[in-house]
Amino acid sequence: MKDLTLVILAAGMGSRYGGMKQIDPVDEQGNKIIDFSVYDAIQAGFKKVIFIIKKEHEQDFRDVIGDKVSPFIKVEYAFQDLNDLPEGFTVPEGRVKPWGTAHALLACDGMLDGPFAVINADDFYGREAYQVIADFLNKGQDGDKGKYAMVGYMLRNTLTDNGDVCRGVCIKNDEGFLTDIKERTHIEKRGNAAAYTENGTDFIDLTGDEIVSMNFWGFTPDIIDELKTIFNRFLKEEVPANPMKSECYIPISVDELIKSGKATVEVLSSKDKWFGVTYKEDKPMVVESVKALKAAGTYPEDLWK
Report phi then psi at 101, rounded to 5: -70, -30
For the chain, what is the domain count? 1
Q: What is the pLDDT of residue 87?
A: 95
State pLDDT tens for residues 117-132.
999 998 999 999 999 9
Q: Residue 16 is part of a domain; what is its CATH number?
A: 3.90.550.10
State pLDDT tens for residues 173-189.
999 999 998 889 899 99
Residue 36, in any domain of the structure: yes
| Distance (Å, whole) CA 72 – CA 141 | 26
State pLDDT tens for residues 255-275.
999 999 999 999 998 878 888
Residue 302, in any domain of the structure: no
Domain housing 161:
5-295
Q: How confident is the model at residue 23 (pLDDT cuts 50, 70, 90)?
A: low
Residue 229, in any domain of the structure: yes
Residue 234, in any domain of the structure: yes
- pTM strictly above 0.85: yes
Residue 300, in any domain of the structure: no
State pLDDT tens for residues 80-96.
999 999 999 999 999 99
State pLDDT tens for residues 214-236.
999 999 999 999 999 999 999 99
Residue 268, in any domain of the structure: yes
Q: What is the pLDDT of residue 81?
A: 95
